[in-house]
Amino acid sequence: MPTISIDQKLLSQLLAQHGLKHDIEQMASQLPLLGTDIDICDESTLDIEIFPDRPDLLSAETLAKAIRPFLHNAKSEPRLEVKKGSITMTVDKELEHIRPVILGAVVRNVNTGTTSEQKEEFIKALMDHQEKLHFALGRGRRRASIGVHDLAKLAPPFNVQAVPGSTSFCPLAMTERMTLDQILTSHPKGIDFAHLLEGMTSYPIIFDSNKEVLSFPPIINGNQTTVSHSTQDFFIDVTGWDRRACESSLMLIALQLAERGGSIESVEVTGYDGKVEHLPNSTPREHKVTQRLLDGLLGRNLNDVEIGHAINRMGGEYLGREKAIETTSTTVTKMSDVLAGDSVLTFAMPRWRFDILHPVDLVEDVAIGHGYEDLGSDVPKAPLTAIPRPDNQIRRRLRESLQGLGLMQIQSLTLSNDFDQFEAMRWPPMGDVTRITNPITIEHTLLRQYILPGLFRLMASNRHHDLPQAVYELGTVVRNHKNSGRFAFLVAEQGGGFAAIRGRIQALLKDLGSTEYTIEPLSGSMGPWLAGRCAKVVIHGVHVGCFGEMDPAVSDLYELRVPLNGAEFDIAALQTVLPDPV
């Protein structure tokens, strides 16, 4: 979670501008309800972690705006105060497939402080807010990237063009001109973010009327537009691929400057498609929630006064209720369904509240604003009588035995990949493999069929620790799209040969009460075992598991250079052949 450090004196000044007194004790007790985790709250400093769903709290200024209604019952301000400006920005058609979302805003007469130290602190806070928004909303500048410029050094109107890599300008903090290709290969920021423009033959550049470069989004600004101690008027550009992320980023930077006394002016932006917009948009978003959903989730009926007060504390405005006439469904199948006769509540929420995606998000805001401690009490309606799992006893006995052998229990991810499960371990798929349709990483593409690969990964992560290391996992695998239970253990130790692992298996089987079993050699090269140093366990003719020394060729794939031995067993097979003594 992003962490911010705020000067309590600055917070006091921001609240005093609106006639409010800063109460540190109230801040410490109530602020966590707004979506933060306080690390330090003393007379001088407020250090807080901002939860990912509240990127609108990532600066002292936007936090001050949010806590005015929440802590001090001030009137909320979901509408952005924007004056009509005269500056225009035109986006060329070529940008449609390069960086299609281009937004802009102007903020004038910002009070950046009176002393040189105050001005420097303001600039650092502005840049810090910008980078935190790049992380929280921009996803590393992929969805949205922000540029902040000294307007006094620019000559509007502005034009956004697609240009070749041979185009040159002087980038931020540099003294010589560089081509775009050079920036992407040798400038620190270019190296960090070149992957965002990978495969492109033309790049986006924002020019002013003198053909001076404002910005090379999403990489770096031009040097001539650098914000300095003398800057009072700001031009903000936001570019990207996600409209909501770009709009929220634009408004939050503008809000930060407006809280410093600045006046926000709109910029007329003509998009690549010829559509003309005046940005930022000052109107809040309207959201509708059914009374049935609100009451059903909160467990009590709130009247209009209570709802209005609650949503005001969260920075929104309650616009009233009306009876639903048209329906979206004949039966209730999901939370957003509206039935004829339902009371539909309408809320106006700030456009910069990026976290509001669904009616249930409004219900959560009402609950936070009203207070969880005053939602009444209830008892569960569903029967809570539990029954034990059929494999409960065998699992308990396995855990006790394995822990008695000195093994530490771990729990690894159920998600895995083909390399770990099959290629590295030399095991074939057992039936159909359950794969993830749209995996977000190549490490997690399927649901595991074996436990041992996860133990190898764990050992690889801890190879710098001292030996011996001995771990086990008792978990679930998925074969033929059905869950089944397995357990495995892996031991890294000096002198851990076949005799050591055989002794552990015999002790385990004795603990489980098995006296009639056979240990038979494994044929072939299937599995991670070292040939001739592995075996399988057969009880009453049922193959229940395998054990042995690990082949160094397999260990080497995980950069493990120590002797390893381990085992993997099928819990269902063990349960079938071993009677439950209880």
The domains found in the chain, sorted by start residue, are 3-71 (3.30.56.10), 82-279 (3.50.40.10), 286-373 (3.30.56.10), 392-577 (3.30.930.10)
Give pLDDT, residue 13: 92
Q: Which stretches does DSSP call E strand in 52-118? A: 82-83, 88-91, 101-108
User: Which among 232, 36, 30, 34 has a CA at the least distance from the CA of 122?
Assistant: 232
Q: Are 31 and 67 in contact (CB under 8 A)?
A: yes
The answer, yes or no, to whether residue 117 has pLDDT greater than 80, is yes
pLDDT (mean) for 180-194: 94
Question: Of all helices (H) and strands (E), which one includes residue 404?
Answer: helix 392-404
The answer, yes or no, to whether residue 44 has pLDDT greater than 80, is yes
The Cα–Cα gap between 397 and 291 comes to 51
The Cα–Cα gap between 11 and 23 comes to 10
Q: Which stretches does DSSP call E strand in 119-275? A: 144-150, 158-164, 168-169, 178-179, 202-207, 213-216, 220-221, 234-240, 263-270
What is the residue whose two structure tokens read 């995980």?
558
The answer, yes or no, to whether residue 172 has pLDDT greater than 80, is yes
Provide the mean pLDDT of the chain.
Answer: 91
Q: What is the pLDDT of residues 363-374, one digit of tens each?
A: 999 999 999 888
Q: What is the pLDDT of residues 489-510, one digit of tens each?
A: 999 988 878 999 999 999 999 9
pLDDT (mean) for 551-579: 91
Lowest model confidence (mean pLDDT) among 185-194, 323-332, 336-345, 447-456 = 323-332
What letter does residue 538 receive in the DSSP assignment?
E
Q: Are 557 and 489 in contact (CB under 8 A)?
A: no
Q: What is the pLDDT of residues 229-286, one digit of tens each?
A: 999 999 999 999 999 999 999 999 999 999 999 999 999 999 999 999 999 999 999 9
The answer, yes or no, to whether residue 557 has pLDDT greater than 70, is yes
Give pLDDT, residue 362: 95
pLDDT (mean) for 456-469: 89
Q: Which comes out higher in pLDDT, residue 340 or 45? A: 45
The answer, yes or no, to whether residue 339 has pLDDT greater than 80, is no
Give pLDDT, residue 332: 56
The answer, yes or no, to whether residue 563 has pLDDT greater than 60, is yes
3-class DSSP assignment, residue 195: helix
User: Which among 284, 222, 267 has a CA at the least distance from the CA of 103?
Assistant: 267
The answer, yes or no, to whether residue 379 has pLDDT greater than 80, is no
Q: Is the pTM of this model over 0.75?
A: no
Please report, for residues 296, 297, 303, 319, 350, the alpha-carbon distance to residue 307 in angstroms, rounded to integers and kept in the order given: 15, 14, 6, 10, 17
